[in-house]
Amino acid sequence: MLERIHLEILTAIKEHGTLTKAADSLHLSQSALSHSIKKLEGQLATQIWQKDGRNLRLTAAGERIQTLANRVLPQFSHTELVLSQIAKGEMGSLRIGMECHPCYQWLLRVIQPYLEQWPDIDMDVKQEFQFGALGALLSYEIDVLITPDPLFKPQIDYIPVFDYEHRLVVAESHKLADQDFVLPEQLSNEVLFSYPVESMRLDIFSQFLNPAKCSVKKHKNIETTEIMLQMVAAGRGICALPGWLVDEHSKSLPIKSLRFGKKGISKQIFVGIRNNEQNIDYLRDFIQQAKNTK
């Protein structure tokens, strides 16, 4: 009963609001759109849309179909792209979603040898998702998800590829710099710099401060790693980053890293893929390259 054209029509109506604009975006006539939806309404015995002034508004049934379209249409597009690449003799493309701000520099070390190994693979890295990349992976907007905080779903396989320790970063002149580890209450008068992410998703809060019912004096967001570390080196505050990243920057900046408590915070970087794509050769080799890159 439902066809792809119905999904495309309702998506266009949802985006553009009017029949005229929707028809133009699909390169179809208004009458063709109306006829298609009227026929579907007859089969379903319910309205799909209704007029709202000059615009069209989806009914509850229309919204339900459009929700389906949001999931299914990207899969159509992805499959068509892959089939087109196969027909042209191309290997494919690899679209990587990032949920890990500081992991970008690590990923660059993965990408270089991988591209040499797979010269016919096109690659794109998308960092705009922050913590929304799982939905993009499920809806076929990306092929691979890089994250230190996997949200496990039956459709997704997460493969751990890199172990690291999450550490507190201070200036060499900071009063805590000579300590091996820090306690939660010692940060109560500190200014904390972090990436623009909700506090509940930051390990320094969820695994260190919140369990001890402690907090910092002030929490400020900085988008780039380099500026964050420059601010810390200048004595303006503290931050929390992967130990391997701090080790790299400590060669050129007067900074030190400390363990969170006596046991520290152990973390892993995971590569997430859809579980029906485990045996795709260029995805499998990307995961292996990620495991080999430290």
**Looking at the chain, how many residues does it have?**
294
What is the phi/psi pair of residue 244, to 5°?
A: -65, -35
pLDDT band at 85 (very low <50, low <70, confident <90, very high): low
The pLDDT tens digits for 187-201 are: 999 999 998 888 888
Q: Which two tokens stand for residue 9?
A: 């029509």
Q: What is the pLDDT of residue 172?
A: 96
CA–CA gap between residue 188 and residue 30 (Å, rounded): 63
- Give counts: helices (H), strands (E), the chain: 10, 12
The pLDDT tens digits for 112-140 are: 999 998 888 888 888 665 556 788 888 88
Which residues lie below 8 Å from residue 6, measured CB to CB, with a gap of 6+?
36, 37, 40, 65
The pLDDT tens digits for 9-63 are: 999 999 999 999 999 999 999 999 999 999 999 999 999 999 888 889 899 999 9
Q: What is the pTM of this model?
A: 0.66
Which residues lie below 8 Å from residue 285, measured CB to CB, with a gap of 6+?
114, 117, 118
Residue 91, pLDDT > 60, answer no
CA angle 154, 160, 163 (to 5 degrees): 150
The pLDDT tens digits for 136-190 are: 888 888 899 999 888 888 999 999 998 999 999 999 999 999 999 999 999 999 9
